[in-house]
Each structure stands twice: as structure tokens, then as C-alpha cells.
Amino acid sequence: MIIGLLGFGTIGAGVYEIIKERGAAEVRYVLDIREIGIPELTHNMEDILADSEVDTVVEVMGGLHPAYEFVTAAMKAGKSVVTANKYLVATFYDELIALAKEMGVAFRCTAAVGGGIGWLTALEKAKRAERITALEGIMNGTTNYILSNMKEKGLSFETALSEAQALGYAEADPSADIDGLDIMHKVMLSANVAYDVSVKKEELFVAGIRTITDEDVKAFGEKGLTCKILGSAFENDGAVAAFVQPTLLPADSMTASVPANFNLISYEAEHSGKMSFFGQGAGRYPTAANAVQDCLDLAAGKKEFYTNESKQIALSNDKVSYRYYIRTTAKSAKALCKEPFGPGYLTEKMSVAEMQAAMVKIKAEDEKVFIAALAE
Amino acid sequence: MIIGLLGFGTIGAGVYEIIKERGAAEVRYVLDIREIGIPELTHNMEDILADSEVDTVVEVMGGLHPAYEFVTAAMKAGKSVVTANKYLVATFYDELIALAKEMGVAFRCTAAVGGGIGWLTALEKAKRAERITALEGIMNGTTNYILSNMKEKGLSFETALSEAQALGYAEADPSADIDGLDIMHKVMLSANVAYDVSVKKEELFVAGIRTITDEDVKAFGEKGLTCKILGSAFENDGAVAAFVQPTLLPADSMTASVPANFNLISYEAEHSGKMSFFGQGAGRYPTAANAVQDCLDLAAGKKEFYTNESKQIALSNDKVSYRYYIRTTAKSAKALCKEPFGPGYLTEKMSVAEMQAAMVKIKAEDEKVFIAALAE
């Protein structure tokens, strides 16, 4: 295997290092705009595209552009693609898997979901023997770090976020993490693979943790509950629900006990029941190790994407219901607030779709609204 | 793939059902001594051995004999073997993997460790990209069920065991579970695969939970600790430690929160850090699903065992140390009892090998002794 590596940032340097260490393949080119002192460096994607001996392009530069242009050009040049870029794959899902199929190249993105956890390959494998009916979990280390620290140290959201930024767990602009968009892309990919569908980004309900307060967290704790932000996707008889929302879990449950910046992702399978995978959700080496695993799968002859089907569907978020915690000053939420609960209220049981619709109005009145589903 | 299925008990019937449902292979023979109403039934192993179209034998009858004779005969007849039998594989490890290699047949036993968790295949895969340095976890659902129920309901050991038996989680003779022997076989297989070695059964330190009392459990709880029985194997610079022992964990840790009859097994990998796998540790369908996964791996061309090396080594249990909780009336233990701790004492930090040697003497004096390692 001869590799063109796109990007020599945190993940790229890890991929480079692990591949060299294992002697698993040859990294012939490393594309980066910076002057980095390695002999494989090139600033020109054409070098990689024009070298017919390069059979695999590993894209770990992140972002939509030029990652999209480079990945599609690589496929069109007959090269297989491994990427860790959830934003890219979720955004251009239909096009990328169609192009890979058309060109007869492999396309893998295991490192895009769960960092060091081989989540998408675990789903792919489980599906050989059984149907998946649910998937859910902690899919973002930054927000788990913030929520864990708020709970354990009684920190405000702002302080917990600053600590996460100081430790390099959160970006300078943390929006993708704290607003749930990173998790949204991971849920989309997971649901697509698990259920052989292609879901639409704009249909997912996505609620983040930007507005959670230490008073919220304290009140949850007093009630024996721990707040985690979960990505979820359920399938029943062809109907798929998919969403991202803060969720209140029993404090002694396994998901509630996930520490620091770890991830814990679970599926429910027809025969095996609940299976969960815990590991580093991000970081140079865990993520890089999964990108290398994808390369090794390709070298071992793997040619397929994780699924051969991708039926475009509309989401059915009306099929899944929760009682919600809601704290808001919005008048439009008044009818929902049934029962006092800490600094906010609990709603009656309502569907995710109903909350999704309600939140559009509520947010227009009160941008500090915070909601969390109460796990059953 | 044409299969001869050995055993139509709990697991065997599950394998039969899943394979039929998926149309994944043909089950041509089912060997069982009973008269069961299925057309594939035979009482004669010769039928399977003599049919050259049978390429794979799936052994889910359990026990050492005649499983050993049947499995070796199958390999000698050029058939690949899939088994869920940890007792068999751990006992005849060197011989079975040598025979498989000699005959050029595949030999897989994923369902032998972790029930529905694809633990051995996860280890095998991780090792492609990185070194494993530690493995540890809850590997037995029966004892976890007993310990969870003792903690949550304040039950005595005897009552918790009876409940587990009534629910079918524990055998009429529960020794293999409660004395840690089932876990011992699982640790042996895990260590062998993770570290490319062959460890000797008689060298493992194995402490069970037969003598734990509700007073022990209550005292642990008051100190914020939860007792779980763990299987562990560590590797450092060629030295391997392996043991099974009750362990006191922080009550809010993930391992402490594993409920009912579930398993949670973790490894530490050089690059990915800690990775954990949670699922049903036993039961018809989870275990059967993993045996079917092994068959699917064979059908996809997998020919190897999980490792190509199996260096016979002596264990180095002197390299790993804990403080231990010890409750005993034995005089020989007096020097170890440093600090009162609930109904017993805590020792100073001592190696597993030291405790292993001490326990031989202590047990001769006091068969009701209970020990548990204090996790760091």
C-alpha cells in the first residue's frame, strides 16, 4: 500500500508515526501548506493524483474545502480514500459513496465517529449477523469533559469550558462541540450505516449544552440524575428517528459514569442485545490508530463502504417520546411546563418532533432556554 | 460453507436459528445424543467427519470430553473449527493451535470469552496497529449478578446465589463461576492472544467470591467501594502477570456500575489508550451470534488463529502489587493485617505472587477467608 497523506496536523502526524512504526505501508507524500521538515512533504495535490502507484489517500486535514475537492479527485483518479472527517462525509454522503462505488474504490471513515473506538466497523460487523434497532451514546469528548467537570466540581459552564480550552480539549470557537453539531454528524453517519439509509442533516433535532447552568446541574444531582449530551438514532419498521440532546440519566448508570473526555457508544442488536464501546473519543493517537486500521482493512482486501444501501428517507422523530426538563422564560413554553423541577419544569411525555417544533418558537423568545430529555 | 454443529443445547440451538435466519451457511448435521426433532440430527460424529463437503465444525457442546476428541478429529479431517468452549481451548491451547496450523485449517473461539462481546477479535484487530499492555474486566455474568444483588439488595451470598440459580444464571453446581475458574480460562485465552504467549493454568492466582459476606459488602459500600471479581493480565517487557481476584473499585467508576449479568472487558493499547467492551456475557443469542460471526469470518477467508505466536512462559505475578482487604481467622495471616477495615483488615502493598503464596497457608487454616484487591 502506497499512501498520500492529506494533512500533517494532530491526527496526520499520528497516522504518519504509527504507519512508520509498524512498517504497515509506505507514506509517499504528505500534503500540507506549511513547511514541515519531512522528506515526503508536498504542497501540491497534483503530485499525489499523478502518481499511479499511490493507491490510497488518507484525508485528515478536516473541514469541507478543499477536503471535498481532494477526496473526490482522488477517487476519480482510482484511489481508495480513508478519512477521519465526519463533517465531510456527513455533508456529501450520497455523492461520496456513489462515487466510490462508481470508481470501484474503497471508502472508509472509521475514525470519524468515536475517535479511537472502531464504532462504524463494529456496526458493519454486527449487521452481518443481526439487525440493529437502536444506537445511542456519548459521542463527543469535549462536552462530556465540560459536563463531568460541572458535576464534579460545581463549576459554571463558562469556567468548565475555559478549562477544556486550556487543556486543548475544546477549540477556540467551541460552537461545533457545545451546540451539538459534531455529534449531529456522528449520529448521521451512524444511522446511515446501521439502518442502510441516508438521513437529511436539517431534519435532525439538535439541542446543545451552551445554556446549561450550574444550578441546573446541581438540581439534577439532588434528584440522583446526571446530565450527558447523547446522540441517538432508533429504527422501527423502516421509520428512523435521529437526534442530539442533553439527557438526564440515573447517576449510577454506566453512561452517567463516563469520565473526562471519553466516549461510550452503544447499539441494540436483535440477538446480542446491548453492546457498548468505550474509549478515547478524540486525540492524536486514538483517532490516528483507527485511520491506520482502515488502511490495514484496505490492505487486507476490504473494498466496500460499511453499507451497500443508502435509501434517502425522511426522519420520524414523532415516533420517540420523552418527558423533558425545560428551563426558560419564554411565554410560548408555558403550556409545556407541567411540574416544577429544580430551576425549571418537567413536561408531560412529548415526542422529539414536538419538542423540535416547540424549540423554534421558544428560542426566538429566550435564547438562554435549556432542555434535557429525561431517560426512561 | 457447510457446517457440522456439535451440540444442540442453549448455544447450539441459537447458532442453528441465526444461521437459518440469515441464510449464511448450510447446517448439514447437528450432533446430539438426544432425540431432537430436526432433520439434520445425527448421533454419530463419523457422519460429519466422513462428509468431505462439511468444511466447518462448530463445537458448542461444552466440557472437555468428547469435545476434545471431536474437535481434533475434525481438524485432522481437514475441517475448520469454531468453538465457544473456553475450558477446552484453554486446556489444550498449544496442541489445538499447533494442530490447526499443521492441518491448514482455521480455528476460532470468539464466543469463548465475553459471550456476545467480540473480545478476542477486538484484541486481534487492535494488535495489527498497536501493542496491548493490559487487559482487565468483568468476564463472568453469574458472579457479577451475585455481587450486584448483594450490594443493591443487601442479600447474603447464599440468597444471591439461589436467586441467580432460580433465574438460570448460575448452574446447580456453581463452583466454576464462584471459584473463579471460568474467568481463569478466559484470562488465559485473552493473555495468550494479547501477548503472543501460552500461560500455564496452574500458575494463575485465582481467588473467588464463595466466601464473601453481606458484612463485607456493606463495609465496602460505606467506604465508597464496590466489589467486582475481575480477570486481569498485564504485560511489561516480556513479563506477563495473570490472575483472577475480587477487586474493590470506586463506586462511581464505570466498572463498578456494570449491572446484572453483563460483562465489561477492557484493554490498554499503546496508541488508543483504554478501550472497553460491554455486553451480555452469556446467554443463548449473544454467544451464538459470536459463533456465527466466527463462521462469517471463515467464509470471508479468515484462516488464522488470533495470533501466530504462543511462546510458553512462566508468569510474573511478582511484578504487580496491591493493598488487599483480608478477612480471616487464620493465625498465619496475622502479620499481613496492618489496618482495620470493616470486618477485616487491609494489608500493606504486596505482590500478587506474595498473596498467592500466603493464601495457600491461610486457606489450610481458614477455608472461609475472603480477600479482595484494592484498586489503585
With beta carbons less than 8 A apart as the criterion, state whether A274 and B283 touch.
no
The span from the CA of A246 to the CA of A229, in Å, is 4
Helices (H) and strands (E) in chain A, counts: 13, 19
Q: What is the pLDDT of residues B195-204, one digit of tens each?
A: 999 999 999 9
Mutate one of B108, B275, B290, B303 to test the A interface: name it (highest A CB count within 10 A).
B275
Task: Name the residue with cell 482487565.
Answer: B136
**What confidence score (pLDDT) does residue B170 get?**
86
Q: What is the pLDDT of residues B246-302, one digit of tens each?
A: 999 999 999 999 999 999 999 999 999 999 999 998 889 999 999 999 999 999 999
Q: What is the pLDDT of residues A53-79, one digit of tens each?
A: 999 999 999 999 999 999 999 999 999
Strands laid side by side in the B2-6 sheet: B41-42, B26-31, B2-6, B56-59, B80-83, B107-108
Q: What is the pLDDT of residues B17-61, one digit of tens each?
A: 999 999 989 999 999 999 999 999 999 999 999 999 999 999 999
Q: What is the pLDDT of residues A192-223, one digit of tens each?
A: 999 999 999 999 999 999 999 999 999 999 99
Catalytic: which of A186, A200, A303, A361?
Answer: A186
The C-alpha of A129 sits at a distance from chain B's nearest C-alpha, in angstroms, of: 7
User: Shortest CA distance to A226 belongs to which of A151, A327, A325, A141?
Assistant: A151
Lookup: cell for B87:
475450558
**Single-letter amino acid code for the residue at A127:** K
Length of chain A equals 376
User: Shortest CA distance to A275 belongs to which of A123, A116, A144?
Assistant: A123
pTM, two decimal places: 0.96
**Beta strand residue intervals within chain B, DSSP E:** 2-6, 26-31, 41-42, 56-59, 80-83, 107-108, 132-138, 197-198, 205-206, 225-236, 239-250, 262-269, 273-280, 311-312, 321-327, 339-341, 344-346, 350-351, 370-374
Q: What is the pLDDT of residues A260-296, one digit of tens each?
A: 999 999 999 999 999 999 999 888 999 999 999 999 9
Tell me the ipTM for this assembly. 0.95
Per-residue b or e along B97-106, where b marks 16 or more CB atoms closer than 10 Å to that residue's CB: bebbbebebb
Helix axes A181-195, A93-103, angle to 10 degrees: 50
Task: Name the residue with cell 441459537.
Answer: B14
The C-alpha of B112 sits at a distance from chain A's nearest C-alpha, in angstroms, of: 15
Kindly determine whether residue B257 and residue A258, on different chains, have CB atoms separated by under 8 Å.
Answer: no
What domains are there in chain B, each with its CATH number? 2-108 (3.40.50.720), 123-280+312-374 (3.30.360.10)
Using a 10 angstrom Cβ sphere, with 0-12 exposed, 13-18 middle and 19 or more buried, the burial of residue A143 is buried
Kindly determine whether residue B274 and residue A278, on different chains, have CB atoms separated by under 8 Å.
Answer: yes
Cβ–Cβ contacts within 10 Å for residue A303, how many? 13
With beta carbons less than 8 A apart as the criterion, state whether B132 and B268 touch.
yes
Mutate one of B11, B127, B262, B271 to test the A interface: name it (highest A CB count within 10 A).
B271
With beta carbons less than 8 A apart as the criterion, state whether A72 and A252 touch.
no
**Chain A residues touching residue B271 (CB < 8 angstroms):** 14, 18, 116, 285-286, 288-289
**What confidence score (pLDDT) does residue B191 get?**
98
With beta carbons less than 8 A apart as the criterion, state whether A161 and A213 touch.
no
* Chain A stretch 106-125, residues whose beta carbon is closer than 8 A to a beta carbon of chain B: 116-118, 122, 125
**What confidence score (pLDDT) does residue A92 get?**
98
The answer, for B313 touching chain A at a CB cutoff of 8 Å, is: no
The answer, for B299 touching chain A at a CB cutoff of 8 Å, is: no
What is the three-class DSSP state of B344?
strand
Q: Is B151 a catalytic residue?
A: no
What is the C-alpha radius of gyration for chain A, rounded to an integer number of angstroms? Answer: 21
The span from the CA of B196 to the CA of B306, in Å, is 9
Cβ–Cβ contacts within 10 Å for residue B35, how many? 7
Cβ–Cβ contacts within 10 Å for residue A300, how many? 11
